[in-house]
Structure 1
Amino acid sequence: MRIAEIAVVGADKRTKLEFIDAVCDELVFQTDKLIFGRLQVNPQLMIHLYGLELSDRLTPSWDLVSKKLLGYVVLFDWENQQAYEAARANVESLSERYALPLVIAAALPNGHTEVPDQLVKAAFDLSEQGQFTFYKLSDPPSIKGVLVKLLNAVLETTNRA
């Protein structure tokens, strides 16, 4: 069996926990700094989701998972200016540290809105590896859509190599 590992950062602990719990078959454990869940895609593939705190220095949790990650999901609340600023800082930090695909996922109460791509690209310094999407925390299919977007970005990077 193959295991794909994805880090979920940004937002508060409750949001990361709800995001991971909404799509995982099993929420394995949670601490103040780490949330871990498993999603069995098929008999040959399992996805591990790690809800991690992002800080200026690497923590033991980052040491354990950063070398094996497929990519990152950066969560934030679209209607919260402080969450937006934190997401921008997280994207900048991750882009500087790691050359991995990332998806910025903005939570909306109604799950979607029409925002021009130019506005999103101006708001976030997105490299080729960065993608942006919206999701609704109470809608597991929209959360799975975030993961699909990240996996598509991973496939795009392998096609370029």
Structure 2
Amino acid sequence: MEFLGTVSILVNSSMVLLLILIAVIDLKRRTINQRLLLLLLSGSMAAVYASNEINFISSITALMLIFLILSFVYYISRKGLGWGDVKLCSCIAPYLGIEKAFAMLFISMLLCGVAAIILIVVNKANRHYEVPFAPFAAIGTIAVLLM
């Protein structure tokens, strides 16, 4: 997102720090705090409102598309993707916009898949091991913001 100087740094830093906090909690507890998700969504929408790079309709469209696609994945994969992960990516989507949200999702899923394969190969996990997704969503978001 393009903001003016200090505001841009403050907004991006706040969003990234919040994502890192969510990722650490997900790693430790295998759950995503609902209040932090609400804060993340509020921050996303405030950033969209303050920015002129992404319009409000595009942001809502990104939120809805990511939510619908990941909800489908959630139900098809027999909950292989957690409901908190669906909500997390949906909260990030307005902040990034449609194109960057899909890029974040691609990067996150790719990294998560690679990590899962590595865990299986080194015998740290089996096929049914639950890999927390929030850390990969945070990494994917940071990668997209740096592009």
Q: Same fold (TM over 0.5)?
A: no
More helix by share: 2
Structure with greater contact order relative to length (CA < 8 Å, sep ≥ 6): 2
